[in-house]
Amino acid sequence: MCTGECSKFVAIPLYVLAAVSVICNIMLFFPDFKTEYAAKDSSGSDQITEEVKYMGGLIGGGILVLIPAIHIHLTSGKNCCANRCGMFLSIGFAAVGVAGAVYSLIIAGLGLTNGPLCCTGTVANCKWGTPFMNSSGSYLTDKDLWKTCVKPENVVEFNVGLFSTLLVAAGIELILCVIQMVNGLFGCICGTCASKKS
């Protein structure tokens, strides 16, 4: 496989993974698919999990991966970037993608470890907090503990599903960006298919 084809192989999945990361991060702002939790409650307390506000999926797995994906994709065609200089630049862009993927990976990991911000007690009289903060992620395997959160409804399943998706997406983005860094190095040293055909 030539370096240009490899770039296309890397870029196309990066587009999809960046879109998935952005969508997951946006959805995390609306637990139980309700907009009311995006605002503070009557006492001024936050109702959104802290890690969601760090926007690991939107900034890290989304924007910081999408920009490199565009340049990496350009190196696969017969245009201004399909040359040694373009492949050299793709190493730098891929490094930005690695940084974004690592950021998204860390935030998703923290989101899973700390658990969601939720209201515990009774529905009529509940207190907002992070009941699983000191569980070191052990709550993930004990579904009976998930009933501790009464509001938003099913918030634990919601957060676990979306943060897990972000974690997997960021892991794959990281692998693809590292592959492109190696591919870019070979393209920089050996040239691209486009330059050999011309």
Q: What amino acid occupies position 157?
A: E
| Sign of CA pseudo-dihedral 136, 157, 51, 15 | positive
Query: Which of 6-20, 54-68, 160-174 has the lowest average pLDDT?
Result: 6-20
Q: Within a 13 Å sphere around the CA of 189, how many CA atoms are in the beta-carbon half?
A: 5
Can you list the positions of beta strands (E) in the chain? 118-121, 126-129, 149-151
CA distance linking residue 91 with residue 80, whole number of Å: 16
AA identity, residue 14:
L
DSSP-derived 3-state class of residue 137: coil
Supply 190's token pair: 């050996």
Burial 77-92 (b: 16+ CB within 10 A, else e): eeeebbbbebbebbbe
**Running DSSP on this structure, what letter comes out for residue 33?**
G
Q: SS3 of 164, please?
A: helix
pLDDT confidence of residue 192:
64
| CA separation for the pair 55, 86 (Å, rounded) | 30
Question: What is the phi/psi pair of residue 44, to 5°?
Answer: 90, 10
pLDDT for 4-43, tens place per residue? 677 788 889 999 999 999 999 999 999 888 888 877 766 6
Dmax (CA) for the chain in angstroms is 73
Query: What's the domain range around 91?
Result: 3-197
Confidence of residue 158 (pLDDT cuts 50, 70, 90): very high
Count of domains forming the chain: 1
What pTM value is reported for the model? 0.87
Backbone angles phi, psi at 118, to 5 degrees: -150, 175
